[in-house]
Copies of this chain bind each other. A is one copy, B any other.
């Protein structure tokens, strides 16, 4: 990926980062890079994710999914990091294979999905690191039951990715299901480029070897200076802008194929950095659509935002047919791509004109190498930002309280803490 942080400088934006402050920050980036490199070398928990371009075995993944190559629909049962990486890859790079993600336990949504697919030509990928995630196992049980009701042998249509223990591993052993192992030391939200995110992408026609190659190239660009490394430039500027008041990070790709990438990014950023009272709030947007929704706020609202504009240097295009409609002379000879690019440039300039900081992230094209590089680059940016904030990037302790409480409620333990009520009916 290519990054331009010019519009995040204090000469362009408020908040903005002075050039000399960037020079000083670069010393901290060098220190952080040493820490990250040590973690990678030792395969430490979390840091090990940045080794995936070397450690992932695409051939093993291809072999595991090969029996399901004829599936019309690929159904992932998983939640959070167990679903978002595959979804981001499939939406950016997938072919016409139908991919569905059961990443919620909404009964209406699950019923509609099951009513709308042919289970006999569906393959189910069940993903849970612990093998015990409540939502995932509940959905698995519902789909398994539906397959049995439809006369489909679920053991022939299911494969799993999980850890060494837990229900999913036991199921795989008992029923001889193809089973991939979650990689050691890789938290769910950093697992897109592994046995978690790549199998379904492979079934959806994605060149996963190209994705990994792009990630490897991005890894090779990790150096001790933000001025030489796009991933670190992004992470360092996000941190520096947040420190100066940009608590909101609006990620706005100008490519519909990257809409799910923004959702993946939101999990990565929120769950990794949102701790100890710190962390930017990621906001998902989409160019050009959200120019008609969020841009008013970005330009004229509080000065608490940075906008991460993601765009493509090259894209397949569609010409706009000429017409004799009044006042549309500016569309003569234009294409949807040139219109979208013009809107991108105009939006970037309009943010600068209003003093709202933005960072430009450019991909060569929506191709496997670039998307692999983007995912890897944002993971590295996040790890760097975690070092700069000084937080525990790879844990998510604040979600445990609610998980325990939900299990208690289902067991009939109604002892939630009392909270005030002020009802308006």
Binding site for B on A (CB under 8 A): 2-7, 9, 11-12, 79-81, 84, 103-111, 132, 134-135, 137-139, 141-142, 144-145, 167, 170-171, 226-230, 233, 247-248, 254-257, 266-267, 270-271, 273-279, 281, 283-284, 286-289, 291-305, 315-318, 320-321, 323, 325-331, 334-340, 342-343, 345-350, 352-354, 366, 396-399, 401-403, 405-411, 416-417, 419-425
Contacts and interface: CB of A to CB of B under 8 A. Distances in A.
A401 B347 CA distance: 9
A256 B109 contact: yes
Given A5-B424, A271-B293, 14 more contacts: A12-B420, A79-B292, A106-B256, A107-B316, A137-B328, A167-B327, A229-B424, A274-B300, A276-B300, A278-B301, A339-B406, A343-B402, A346-B402, A352-B417
B410 A339 contact: yes
Contacts of A2: 423-425
Contacts of A335: 107
Per CB-CB distance, the 10 closest pairs between chain A and chain B, nearest first, are A274-B297, A80-B292, A274-B301, A350-B402, A109-B256, A346-B405, A6-B420, A346-B406, A267-B293, A270-B297
11 contacts: A4-B421, A106-B256, A107-B337, A138-B320, A145-B321, A267-B294, A275-B297, A343-B406, A349-B419, A352-B417, A352-B419
Contacts of A103: 289
Contact of A334 (B132, B138, B278): B138
Nearest to A356: B398
A337 B135 CA distance: 11
Nearest to A109: B256
Q: How many copies does the complex hold?
A: 2
B419 A6 contact: yes
A293 B321 contact: no
B284 A281 contact: no
Contacts of A354: 398, 401
Nearest to A328: B137
B138 A339 contact: yes
A107 B336 CA distance: 5
A406 B109 CA distance: 40
Contacts of A134: 328, 330-331, 339
Given A4-B424, A248-B248, A399-B291, A317 B276 contact: no
B105 A255 contact: no
Contacts of A271: 292-294, 296-297
A335 to B, nearest CB: 7
B137 A424 contact: no
B396 A317 contact: no
A401 B355 CA distance: 13
A319 to B, nearest CB: 8
A286 to B, nearest CB: 7
A420 B11 contact: yes
Nearest to A148: B321
A416 to B, nearest CB: 4
A410 B347 contact: no
Nearest to A419: B352
A352 to B, nearest CB: 4
A141 B342 contact: no
Contacts of A84: 293
B4 A142 contact: no
